[in-house]
Copies of this chain bind each other. A is one copy, B any other.
Amino acid sequence: MLPTDGFLGSEFEARVERAQTLMAAEKLDGLLLTFGDNIRYFTGVDADLGASLARPWFVVVPASGAPIAIVPSLAEGLMRKTWIQHIRSWPSPRPEDEGTTLVVDALASLPRRFGRVASEFGLETRIGLPLSQLNEIIKSLSGVELVDGASLIWSLRMIKSDAEVAKIQRATDIAAAVFAQVPHFVHLGDSERMIHQRFRIKLLEEGASGVGLTCRAGPGGPSVVTAGSVSDRRIADGDLLYLDTGVTHDHYFCDYDRNYQVGRASDALLFAHERVWEAHEAGLRAAVPGKTAGNIFEEMAKVLSSGRRDLNSNGRMGHGLGLRVTEPPSVKVGDNTVLRPGMVLCIEPALEYEPGKIVLHEETVVVMDEGARLITPRTPRELPQII
């Protein structure tokens, strides 16, 4: 067992093999990876100190053969503990050549069949180095063109192995254990800040590593469901309390929310809750191989409001999940990604049933041959209460 999130070397070998199959189809000589998630996907580690921008990392996956990691001296020891055999490093920081020469050399040494190497340029990707450094690399390459590899990368990462699904399940179980305790440690009159703090402490107690949490409440529902500063507002009778957590376990995310009625709930809120719950049923039924991500949205939109398609400012009702808390595809009209076994999706119907009152439910599923299997415990049909 490698010290890389508890995966076996065979997990990474399988990923490289799948990548190489796709590279052959897309006429590529290799992949150049610079962004943390993608480096982790192939090696099991990344800069992690995502927080520091001083020292870029690189991985080159050739069209055949083993990957090459090019990392700052600081990270060499860590990389040597992984399954990666080919490791090159430079004394970093060294702004005048922060790995540039090593990367250019590695790309120039790839067996040249097509003269094309793909990198992280397109949809829902980022480059993990300064743009000016990337431009230097591009300028120094001769006979090798860097092209967009986003669709290849997401084709790979969208399909999770059983080992990856198990990580997401574990992260979800950690969060579920804390959600189950909410009615015991949250009470009418507590501030959002107090709830936020207690919830995150319990996540750590349950063994989470990352402890992202959004905590929002408002009369009849929160008015926004996005992250942002926690407030000192105290939850009051008639509120809907919304808790949405992105716990990580071995760098894989869970992402799901729960709603709690604080004291009494209006009929309008209970009706909206029921409507969203039913829309969810329709969405879960639609998450089967062969349908598209957009189909899930359409089925839920039908239930939510007879076909209205702009139901909340999120612009979508779900997304992929894995090493990122949101990954492609988007559960929205126009996303024609065909669902395939191994995809892990967060499905989140939402309704702003009155201006500034949002009800949003989120569940995670893995697409299986026979349909969606829930990873989250299904939200109770009856809204749980906090007193």
Q: Interface extent on A, as a size class?
A: 35 or more
Does A93 interact with chain B (Cβ within 8 Å)?
Answer: yes
Return A202 CB to nearest CB of chain B, in Å: 9
Contacts of A124 in B (CB 8 A): 53-54, 130
Q: Which of B54, B126, B129 lies in contact with A330, CB distance below 8 A? A: B54
Could you tell me if B49 and A227 are in contact, using CB atoms closer than 8 angstroms?
Answer: yes
Contacts of A25 in B (CB 8 A): none
**Provided the pairs A148-B132, A324-B52, A325-B49 are in contact, do residues A3 and B229 lie with their beta carbons within 8 angstroms?**
yes
**Provided the pairs A51-B324, A76-B313, A332-B93 are in contact, do residues A125 and B130 lie with their beta carbons within 8 angstroms?**
yes
A216-257 CB contact bits vs B (8 Å, 1 = yes)?
Answer: 000000011011111100000000000000100010010000
Return A185 CB to nearest CB of chain B, in Å: 14
**Interface stretch (choices A67-75, A362-370, A379-387):** A67-75
Q: How far, in angstroms, from A155 to B142 measured CA to CA in the complex?
A: 35
**Residues of chain A whose beta carbon lies under 8 Å from any beta carbon of chain B:** 3-5, 45, 48-49, 51-54, 72-78, 91-95, 120-132, 134, 148, 150, 197, 200-201, 204-205, 207, 209, 211-212, 223-224, 226-231, 246, 250, 253, 310, 313-316, 319, 324-326, 330, 332
User: Would you mind naming 16 contact pairs between A and B with Cβ atoms under 8 Å apart?
Assistant: A3-B231, A48-B228, A49-B326, A52-B325, A53-B326, A54-B124, A54-B330, A77-B226, A78-B224, A91-B310, A94-B315, A122-B132, A123-B130, A124-B130, A201-B205, A204-B211
